[in-house]
Amino acid sequence: ITFGEIITRKTGIPTKTVSRVDTVMVLEAVRRAILPDTNLDEIVASIDKDKVGLGRFTPTKISRHKKVIITLCITGEGTAIRIKRLIEKMIPGIHEKVEIIPVGIVGDEDIAMKIKRIKKEYSVSAIVGTIDPKDNTIPFIPLEEIINGTAVEKLQSIADIKITQKLSITENNHNWLLSKVIYEEAILVYPDCSTKNEILDDMVRILTNIGYVKDDFLLDVYKREVMGPTVIEKNIAIPHGTPKNVIKPAVGIAILKNPLAWSEGIEVDCVFMLALREDSRDIIRALYKLINNNGFMSKLKLSRNSKEARNIILEFLFTSN
């Protein structure tokens, strides 16, 4: 569908779209528009011809019988497009049997209505993404299943193809390693904390309760803070303890509603608590890269809950360029 068709449907005004518009094209369109017995299609065809075929926006129609997979992301359509590419990379040839339609969720848009419109035109076989739209008529495949490879057989069945070559994200991938130590239950969104000590206590308490660190880990964290503030750029703190008190590697995260004082003259609004082992250099490298990814922190700080925060992290880890 073209923008012109959308405008026509909403306003009732016949509209066509062309690309690569310049001053000469506009003048020619105006000149032809005032000629008697000239219609819109003729004007578009003539100025398109003058551009030697460039600028024609021909709407392509997906066959109603061709299966469709929707990729759905909370960080926008650009990320949904990158998930589409990820699927095509992991399952070569899937694009020949299945059309993948990226859909982004922005603000308060009604995603259910978007999906409903797509269902009216196409046969939707699955939705892949980081947020479940709760449509009982369409199977939902979490992005995490694409990442760990468990969704490959499902997609193979949907596409009705035999996969002879399959690419997967392996343990050698730094981003994959980082994703394995970020847990929804270890993420705090707008915790009720007003001091540095309160946030440290809460984060360690959670890691201790779920069995990821020993009781002495809290003392480790405080000892490290005495040595000097664990603050990096962008108002982010990365407190950490010693590996000997780590039971299971994890990265705790706290997204603060308001900045709080971390040390003299320094405030933070996001905390990444590292409970890692000695061999976690690649995880730390991936975390630093993620934090410095353009747009990541601003998106993360908009998270409404821990599940949404983790989904945003996964999207940036596996779909960012």
| Segment 119-167, tens digit of pLDDT | 888 889 899 988 888 888 899 998 888 877 778 778 878 777 665 555 5
Give 31 or 317, the one with higher predicted confidence: 317
What pLDDT does 109 receive?
57
Does 56 fall in a domain? Answer: no
Which CATH number goes with the domain that contains 138?
3.40.50
Give 148 or 217, the one with higher predicted confidence: 217
Q: Which residue has the tokens 């998106």?
A: 299
- How sure is the predictor about 220, in pLDDT bands with cuts at 50, 70 and 90? very high
Whole-angstrom CA distances from 20 to 47, 51, 60, 101 are: 11, 9, 19, 25
77, pLDDT greater than 90? no
269, pLDDT greater than 90? yes
218, pLDDT greater than 70? yes
Does 139 fall in a domain? Answer: yes
Does 79 fall in a domain? Answer: yes
Whole-angstrom CA distances from 141 to 78, 123, 165, 175 are: 19, 17, 21, 20
Which residue range(s) make up the domain with 16? 3-50
Residues 188 and 290 in one domain: yes
Residues 206 and 289 in one domain: yes
Residues 21 and 118 in one domain: no
Does 57 fall in a domain? Answer: no
Compute the distance between CA of residue 258 and CA of residue 101 in angstroms, rounded to an integer: 38
Domains in the chain, number? 3
pLDDT tens track for 289-300: 999 987 899 999
What pLDDT does 199 receive?
97
Residues 261 and 230 in one domain: yes
Which CATH number goes with the domain that contains 305?
3.40.930.10
Q: Which residue has the tokens 């971390």?
A: 262
pLDDT tens track for 20-69: 666 667 777 777 777 766 777 777 777 765 443 344 444 455 555 678 99
Closest CA relative to residue 242, chosen from 223, 263, 264:
223
Residues 180 and 155 in one domain: no
Compute the distance between CA of residue 43 and CA of residue 189 in angstroms, rounded to an integer: 55
Single pTM value for the model: 0.65
Does 59 fall in a domain? Answer: no
Residues 235 and 253 in one domain: yes
Residues 198 and 79 in one domain: no
Residues 75 and 16 in one domain: no
Residues 74 and 28 in one domain: no
Residues 33 and 148 in one domain: no
User: Which residues partner with 127 through β-bridges?
Assistant: 70, 140
